[in-house]
Amino acid sequence: METTLIILKPDAVQRGLMGRIISRFEDKGLQIVGAKFMQISNELASTHYSDHQGKPFYDGLVGFMTSSPVLVLAIRGKGAIAVCRKMMGATFGSNAEAGTIRGDFGVSNSFNLIHGSDSPEAAEKELGLFFNDGEVLCFDRPGDAWVYDMSGGTAE
C-alpha cells in the first residue's frame, strides 16, 4: 500500500467542493488516513514549491496557496499516487478530461483545485512537511476485502 499527499487548494475550499472531491477518492476505494484543514504559511508554501522557485509563476503560486485555507489529506491505497493523479486529470482544467476532478470542476489554467504527489519520494517529503508524527494513521477497514482481491495474500 502507498500513501500520497493531496491538497485541496484554496479554489476547491472556496467553491465548496471539498466533500465532493473526498467522496471521489473514497468511492474509488482509497482510504483517508490523515486530514488537516489549515492556512498554509508563506514559509511552508515556499518550501513545498521550492522546485518552482525562479519560474515566472512561482510568486503567484505561493500567493494563491496562502490566500485561503486548504484541506491537506493523506490518502492510502494500492498504487495511490498514480491512481490519485489519474483521478485529478491534466494540470490545466481547460485540458482535463471529463470524469476527472479538474475536468469536471475546473476551466482555469491558474486555479487547478488540487495538488497530488507525483512520486513515492515526493509523497514522503510532502507528507513530512504537512503532517507530524502520529497524524497519518494506520488502521484496518473490513471493507477493504471488497476493494482489493486479497486471495493471493496481497492486495491485487
Active site residues: 115
Name the pairing type of β-strands 31-38 and 114-116.
unpaired
Query: What sections of 15-138 are H helices per DSSP?
Result: 18-28, 42-48, 58-65, 80-88, 101-105, 120-130
Element (H, E) at 75: strand 70-77
Element (H, E) at 12: helix 10-14
**Cα–Cα distance for residue pair 132/17, rounded to 1 Å:** 26
> For residue 68, with 0-12 CB atoms within 10 Å meaning exposed, 13-18 middle and 19 or more buried, which class applies?
middle
Residues 6+ apart with CB under 8 A from 60: 110
Q: Which amino acid is at 68?
A: S
